[in-house]
Amino acid sequence: KTLTIGLIPGDGIGKEVIPAGRQVLEALPSSYGLKFNFIDLKAGFDHFQAAGTALPEETLSALRSECQGALFGAVSSPTTKVEGYSSPIVALRKKLNLYANVRPVKSVDNGIDRPVDLVIVRENTEDLYVKEEKTFENPDGTKVAEAIKRITEVASKKIGKMAFEIALRRQALRDLGLKSIHSSPSVTITHKSNVLSLTDGLFRETIRNFYDNHLDKFESIELKEQIVDSMVYKLFREPENFDVIVGPNLYGDILSDGAAALVGSLGLIPSCNVGENFVIGEPCHGSAPDIEGQNIANPIATIRSTAMMLEFLGYDKAAAKIYEAVDANLIENKIISPDLGGTSKTTEVIEDILKRI
Ligand code: NAI
Ligand code: MG
């Protein structure tokens, strides 16, 4: 089978880590029966400055008409408003209806990390990320800014369903012998519906109702909930108690960077943007301008995101091969990048993992 994969490096270290994704796919032994075509695609702030658009129409149409999946590096988004610029990954998630962002955080058995094996399932198309903001002035001339937080029943139900399905799938893999700290599946809904009773309330109730109406399928899953601020506390105090966490867009974004701190580095944490017919693997980190151009970015988040892309396209065995190669590198703990306390270069870490594949 030949898969066509779009490669969107974007800005900063995105350009240094996306080649790793391509290389691991090319390194997969032929016994997996997969061949790859790659299409290099543009997006990001550099491209915006050069060409006036952050997400060219050609990128979107190539993804839609030619690719089965894609890998996205990172883009830089200025913290102050730049006229005409808007983050292309946020746009891509909406335009391709990639409604779920799945972010596993798992420690390896290297004698350093505390045991963590959780996955954050983040709603990916709405909440405050609809970016409907406006400013106006009070009669006394002082400024006000407002943003819409939109939660819909349709999106909440879809993300809830995805979280339960992932919990079952993780349990199925454990039943097949995959080592884990969990022996039974759970899903924790995180929200702030004690304050935002209409918006987060709808998120919470929709997922609870969905669960109640599908007990035949999801009965084995324990449904829990945790208000988002104490969720942060518990995540750091007792990460081993969480299996699948489902949350609205903003909380999911924040919790996943936080959870990364539990396992040593943001440079380890992958994600996959998942829709009905398309997937984009994407490291959780950003363009990391503080380390760009030095060949020291950790490529593992991207390599794991590549494996996730394969997994969501249905190629579990090939994905498992990549995960194992990464774990072996981390357990040996020798050829590792500076964010993990090592001295190896990005390219050396990639080489080591390619050898193991
Ligand atoms: P960041 O994730 O780029 O960096 C945070 C810290 O983690 C930095 O110290 C960085 O050096 C380190 N880090 C991140 N990835 C690493 C890796 N692979 N290896 C080693 N160290 C790594 O977040 P920050 O600094 O808040 O944002 C920088 C830019 O990235 C901003 O313009 C922001 O808008 C953008 N960004 C883009 C995202 C995307 O495209 N999906 C996601 C998050 C931020
Ligand atoms: Mg983020």
Same domain, 250 and 282: no
On whether residue 116 sits in a domain, the answer given is no
Q: Which of 228, 244, 263 is the last residue of a domain?
A: 263
**Residue 51 placed within a domain:** yes
Domain with 253 in it: 150-263
Q: Whose CA is nearest to atom 4 of ligand 1?
A: 288
* CATH number where 250 lies: 3.40.50
Distance from residue 138's CA to the centre of ligand 2 (Å): 33
CATH of the domain at 310: 3.40.718.10
Same domain membership, residue 254 and residue 193: yes
Q: Which residue, of 263, 295, 317, is where some domain finishes?
A: 263
Of 285, 292, 298, the residue with max ligand 1 atoms within 8 A of its CB, to mutate for a pocket test, comes to 285
Which ligand approaches the C-alpha of residue 122 most closely? 2
For the packed helices 300-312 and 316-332, what is the interaxial angle rounded to 10 degrees? Answer: 160
Answer with the one of 263, 278, 313 that is the final residue of a domain.
263
Check residue 114 and give its pLDDT: 86
Domain count, the chain: 2
pLDDT at position 62 is 98
If one residue of 55, 287, 300, 339 were mutated to test the ligand 1 pocket, choosing by the most ligand atoms within 8 A of its CB, it would be: 287
Residue 278 and residue 255 share a domain: no
Atom of ligand 1 nearest to the CA of 289: 28
If asked whether residues 203 and 300 sit together in one domain, one would say no
Binding pocket residue ranges, ligand 1, CB within 6 Å:
13, 74-77, 89, 265-267, 285-291, 297-298, 301, 339
Q: Above 0.85 for ipTM, yes or no? A: yes
Residue 277 sits in the same domain as residue 342 = yes
Q: Quick one: 5 and 92 in the same domain?
A: yes
**What pTM value is reported for the model?**
0.95
Rounded to an integer, what distance in angstroms lies between the CA atom of residue 248 and that of residue 260? 18
Q: Is residue 137 part of a domain?
A: no
> Do 231 and 283 fall within a single domain?
no
Residues of the chain with pLDDT > 70: what percent? Answer: 100
Residues in the chain: 357
Q: Are residues 273 and 224 both part of a single domain? A: no
Q: Are residues 287 and 218 in the same domain?
A: no
Q: Is residue 340 part of a domain?
A: yes
Q: What is the mean pLDDT of each run of 10 residues along the chain (357 residues)?
A: 97 98 98 97 97 96 97 95 92 94 92 90 96 96 98 98 97 92 97 98 98 98 98 96 98 94 93 96 97 98 98 96 97 96 98 98
Ligand 1 atom nearest to CA at 75: 40
- 225 occurs within a structural domain: yes
Distance 119 CA to ligand 2 centre (A): 15
Determine the distance separating the centroid of ligand 2 and the alpha carbon of 175, expressed in angstroms.
Answer: 32
Same-domain pairing of 290 and 355: yes
List strand residue ranges (DSSP E) for the chain, in order: 2-10, 35-40, 69-74, 100-106, 117-123, 133-137, 143-147, 186-191, 222-227, 244-247, 272-274, 279-281
Mapped onto helix, strand or coil, the DSSP state of residue 187 is: strand
Cβ neighbours for 198, distance < 8 A, ≥ 6 positions apart: none
| Cα 74 to middle of ligand 1, angstroms | 8
Question: Quick one: pLDDT at residue 110?
Answer: 78
Domain-embedded: residue 63: yes
Count the neighbouring beta carbons within 10 Å of the beta carbon of residue 216: 6
Per residue in 278-333, pLDDT (tens digit) is 999 999 999 999 999 999 999 999 999 999 999 999 999 999 999 999 999 999 99
Q: Are residues 247 and 275 in the same domain?
A: no
Ligand 2 center from residue 14 Cα (angstroms): 14
Asked if residue 142 is part of any domain, the answer here is no
Q: Does residue 145 fall inside a structural domain?
A: no
Atom of ligand 1 nearest to the CA of 291: 11
How far is the CA of 147 from the CAs of 90, 130, 134, 150, 276, in angstroms? 16, 9, 7, 9, 28
Whether 238 and 272 share a structural domain = no
Between CA 331 and CA 105, with CA 16 as vertex, the angle to 5 degrees is: 40
